[in-house]
Amino acid sequence: MNSTRTRLANVNYSADHFYFIKIEIAPNTTIFDHSSQLLTQSIWFEQVNRYSIIYSHHFFIDANQLQAILEWRSDRVAPYKNPVSLTKFIAQFKSKSTVFLRKNGASDFCWQRGFFERIIRNKAEFDHFKQKLK
């Protein structure tokens, strides 16, 4: 099976940007009930708080997806050798949340492969995505 590149080749996903993120659960898997949503939200913010360069501006979760606006801010920490990229951050979140959700009753839980991201380029786009999350 050939893998296709979903990220832009010329973009540094560890650099300072605002991102709109959407992660969906896989088809035919358990949908998020209220307790699963709360657990997933807790894991999301725990993951965000692991990295001082990441700030979560807005967050929304419903029965089958998670959406958020994240900001990478390198000025919040002294430079370090291996900054976390968006892809690595999402992979860590998906792995941790899958383990916790399966241990807490959602034995068939699975995220869809990959995720949607868009670099937010200006205030108008930021406001547009902010409205989507209300």
Q: Please write the tens of the pLDDT for every residue from 8-28.
A: 566 655 567 899 999 999 998
d(CA 62, CA 91): 20
Structure tokens at 81: 């050798």
When the candidates are 3.40.1160.10, 1.10.3720.10, 3.40.50.1820, 3.30.70.1290, the CATH number that belongs to 18-132 is 3.30.70.1290
What's the one-letter identity of residue 129?
A: F
What's the one-letter identity of residue 73?
A: R
Task: Answer yes or no: are the C-beta atoms of 20 and 129 closer than 8 Å.
Answer: yes
d(CA 108, CA 121): 37
Identify the bridge partners of residue 58 per DSSP, sorted by sequence position: 69
Q: Report helix, strand or coil for 34.
A: helix
pLDDT of residue 5: 44
pLDDT tens digits, residue range 54-72? 999 999 999 999 999 999 8
d(CA 134, CA 125): 15
Q: What is the model's pTM?
A: 0.84
